[in-house]
Amino acid sequence: MFTFAHNNFNVRDLDASLKFYSEALSLSEVRRKEADDGSFIIVFLADPAKSGHQLELTWLRDWDRAYNLGDNEFHLALIAEDFDAAYAHHKEMGCICYENHAMGIYFISDPDGYWIEIIPAKR
């Protein structure tokens, strides 16, 4: 038997990513691991509902280029209790990158270009 623990996104600017995930999705830091030599920082974020699933952000000191995200076919998906308010908030932030009105969902993009799917609580 297995239980989801976390997903990882590698990020170029940890502070910008932490700000984005806090502002856009109300995720907050629950723990952090810093290498003794300063070569990496790993930060785990959790949702306010305490679902148990976490997002791991990894910053690598010596990484000097944008991450290759392929075709962005992989993504996280989060449920919005108030979909309309979430949509308005993300529209104001300017982070909506794709909308699928037929499916009733949309995607936002983080500072590194990772896509996050926003779905309504009730379908």
Give how many domains the chain has, as a whole number.
Answer: 1
Could you tell me if residue 10 is inside a domain? yes
In angstroms, the Cα distances linking 41 to 7, 12, 46, 73, 110 are 15, 11, 17, 26, 18
Could you tell me if residue 16 is inside a domain? yes
Could you tell me if residue 67 is inside a domain? no
Could you tell me if residue 68 is inside a domain? no
Q: In which domain, by residue range, is 52 found? A: 6-62+74-120
Q: At what angle do helices 14-25 and 83-93 cross, to 10 degrees?
A: 140
CATH number at residue 25: 3.10.180.10
Give the closest residue to 60 by CA, choosing from 112, 94, 14, 111. Answer: 14
Q: Give residue-wise pLDDT tens across range 3-54.
A: 889 999 999 999 999 999 999 999 999 999 999 999 999 999 999 888 899 9
Q: Give residue-wise pLDDT tens across range 42-82.
A: 999 999 888 899 999 999 999 999 999 888 778 899 999 99
